[in-house]
Every structure is written in C-alpha cells, then in structure tokens.
Chains A and B, each alone.
Chain A
Amino acid sequence: MIEATGGSIDIEESFKAVEIDSTSIQSNQQVILDTTEIPKILLPLISRNGQPEVLIFNVEDIKRLRDKYGILGILIGTLAQYPQQNFFLSVPLKLFIWEVIWLVESGYAQLIDQVNYRLDKAKELQSKGKLQNNNVIVMTKKDPNSKSASQLESREANFIVTPNTDSHKYSKDYRTICADDYEVSLKDYLKSYIESTSLSQNQVRSYYQNFKYLKKQGFFINPGLKFGGDLVLYPGDPLRFHSYSIVKFNMVDLQDFVVGGRLATSVKKNIVIIGDVDESEEDGSTEEVNDEFIQSLAKEPKKMSFSIEWSGFG
C-alpha cells in the first residue's frame, strides 16, 4: 500500500474516520489499476448446488490477482512437492465472498459456471475423435527447468501428471464461449451464497462495504477468525509484512472490547471497528437479492472506523 515516499506513513491523517470522501482519497493501490486493455479474469464458480465457491487454479490468474489487485485468497490445496505438511499449500486459491464481489463489481473479473463449461468442452473434444491428453512427461531428478530441450527429448517419458488447469483455455475462442454462455451473474452467485449461509442480505451489503472501505485504503486483507476477528489487515503483502490490525464488523459488547484489545495487543496488532456514518443510510427494506441490491453494493462506502489497543496502564 501507500506511496513510496519512505519514512513513516501517517494513516491517521489520510483516513479521518468521519470525513471519508471517496473522491479525495488517493488510490493507494501499489499498482494503478487499468482495466481497459486486460481481459477480465474468469473466476471458476464451483459447487453451485451447495455453497458456491470461487477457486482459482491458473497460476497466471493468481499472480495477477495478487500483484495487480492485491487480492490474496487462501491456498487450500496440497503442495505435491511437500504433501505432508500444512504450512505451505498450493492451488486452488480460494477467494472469499468479499474478494469475489469486489473483483466482479469493479469490473476486473467475471464468474463462470465451471462444471458445465468443462463438461461441454470435454464432450466436444471427445466428439472430435482422438484425444491428446499429454499427461506423460520427462522428469529428471534435479531441476527439470535447467535441462536443455534436446537433452529432454532424448529421454523417455517417465512421469504421469495432473496439471492445475486446462492449458488450452486461454485461447480467444474459449474466452468468447465462456463470456457468452457460461457467465454467472453476481446476483445469482449472491443469491445462492445467502441461501446456503446464515448471512442476511443486509449483512452481506454492510460487510462488503466494510471490505471495500478497507480495500480503498490499500490494505491487504485476509479472513480473521484465528485472531477472533472478521478480517486481518496487512500494510503490504503479507509475504513480507506483519499484520497491523484485526477487524471486527460487529462490536457490540464491552467484553469484546476487553478481549479484543487484549488479544490484539498480545499479538502486536490493534482492533479496528467499523460502522456506518449515517445509520439511516441503511435502506434495509429489500429482502430479496435483486438488481437494486446489486447496485447498492457498488455505492461508495460511508463508514467510520476506530482503532482500539490496550493503553499500557491501569
């Protein structure tokens, strides 16, 4: 986050709680986003019958999400090189609901009905006759990348593999087909998400607006249950930086204050609580996930926030 001016960065100054005005806030995104040239990232939507899940298998997409948009996701797959540990995991990268909404709502990505797309494509492939699975490769003991092509050719294939994703899918052809026939709207995604969880439509809106409010300030964001919060915030990519804050969406009790403040301080963080600037703004009338609701997600968040930490005395 935040311009490379060096020295300390005065977040207190830049993000005065009550005076949030979207136009006056500089985008603190590390990279200025430019959507004109790049095609949208296709977000594979999985498990449409249960809770819908967006899982990314394409490493190029993972790269773009992280480097360009500061979207982290959570790796949930087994790392085949080291399959007996849980510290370093691999694809798929699971995006959580706020990341999904943010990417789609900002126009960086679109949702794809993955299972139907892939089944239809497989059918088509099979109808064309001979398949080329290409899943047998040459594997050398040391680093395979260091071998020259000729050296590799001279050896017999000895390894059978499962790739992360379908390597042909980024053909122009594929993109058009997906966009046309397999796109899932944000509305449908949210509808099934809300149906399969205990979140209400108002909560989804309010929490998403919180996420957006934080994203605008350039933070990197992860889920926060490990620390008793809804989110954790990082001042930069968590690969390099310790997290700053634990975010609580609903702070309702002083007990939470004591617990949260104490916990945060013991792990060198603080607690951030967020609320609406004007509560009447909450037009909680619609119970349905309709177009109006989807439009309301795109509104500028009007939020105020406070940071809590132990005082060090008492």
Chain B
Amino acid sequence: MASVESLANQVQTNLIHYNFWTKVKIHDINNGLKAVIGLPPSKLDSNDEEDQPEWVIPRSLVSNSSISVKEINEWFTGIAILEEKRPKRITIGIVNDDGTVVYYFIHDGIVKPRQN
C-alpha cells in the first residue's frame, strides 16, 4: 500500500507544478498523519483573505478508502494544535492510482454552498 510519505509527496508535487501553488510544505500532524500546507495562486473562495494558506490532507482512493466523520474531526483538531486555532476549512486531496488528484473542500459545520 502507498505510504503516507509517498502520498504527501504526490500531492505536494501536484500542488506546486500542476496547480501552481507556492511555499508548499509537508507537516506531521497527529497519529503519523501528514498534512500539506501551501499558498494557492489566487483566492480559492471570494471570502478568503489574500495569501491565505490552505491545509490539504492527502488520502489514497485505492487503499484504505473508508472515511468517517470522526476521522475528519481528527484532522481539524490536529491542525488546530499546529495553528492554535481550528481552521474553518481544510481540503482533502484524493489520490487515485492513475496519478489523478481531486481536491474537495471540507468546511467545519454546515455552511452555505458557494454560489457558483
């Protein structure tokens, strides 16, 4: 199965060289979990602040594809420890075995959808 490091590296490269993010770094959060943080080239949401860094949690779609609310909450608490503040939103980077990474926002609580 793909290691946590390998997944984090894939997401990091994808963010820098496919999505043109900058200052992308990998952090250890709790339980051997890794999170990637970086700056997107422009605001991801009109309500975001300029140069607002974004946390991305890498996950593999192929191995260990199950997910729970409890687990998501752990990501939030893990990042809260690093940031000293629970983030309003994180992003999950889902890595497929063909190298595709798809990114989804996970907002804390019930928020209204972006008006697209």
A residues neighboring B (CB under 8 Å): 11-12, 15-18, 214, 217, 233, 235, 244-245, 251-255, 257-258, 261, 264-265, 268-270, 272-276, 279, 304-314
Contact = CB atoms under 8 A, between A and B. Distances in A.
Nearest to B54: A311
A309 B105 CA distance: 5
A18 B75 CA distance: 13
B52 interface: no
Q: Which 6 A-B pairs have the closest CB atoms?
A: A275-B69, A311-B103, A314-B103, A270-B113, A307-B107, A17-B109
Contact of A313 (B40, B67, B107, B114): B40
* Chain A interface helix/strand/loop/mixed: mixed
Interface of B: 14, 18-19, 40, 44, 59, 61, 65-70, 72-73, 88, 91-94, 101-116
Contact of B113 (A244, A304, A306, A311): A244
B73 A313 contact: no
B111 A11 contact: yes
Nearest to A310: B104
B108 A245 contact: no
Given A12-B108, A314-B103, A309 B69 contact: no
A307 B110 contact: yes
Nearest to A264: B113
A310 B105 contact: yes
30 contacts: A11-B111, A12-B107, A12-B111, A15-B109, A16-B108, A17-B108, A214-B110, A252-B67, A253-B67, A254-B59, A254-B66, A257-B92, A257-B94, A258-B94, A268-B115, A268-B116, A270-B112, A272-B110, A275-B69, A304-B69, A304-B109, A305-B109, A306-B73, A307-B113, A308-B105, A308-B106, A311-B105, A313-B19, A314-B18, A314-B19
A268 B113 contact: yes
B67 A251 contact: yes
Nearest to A260: B104
A282 B107 CA distance: 25
Contact of A255 (B61, B68, B114): B61
Contacts of A276: 69
A258 B40 CA distance: 21
Contacts of B18: 314
Contacts of A254: 59, 61, 65-67, 94
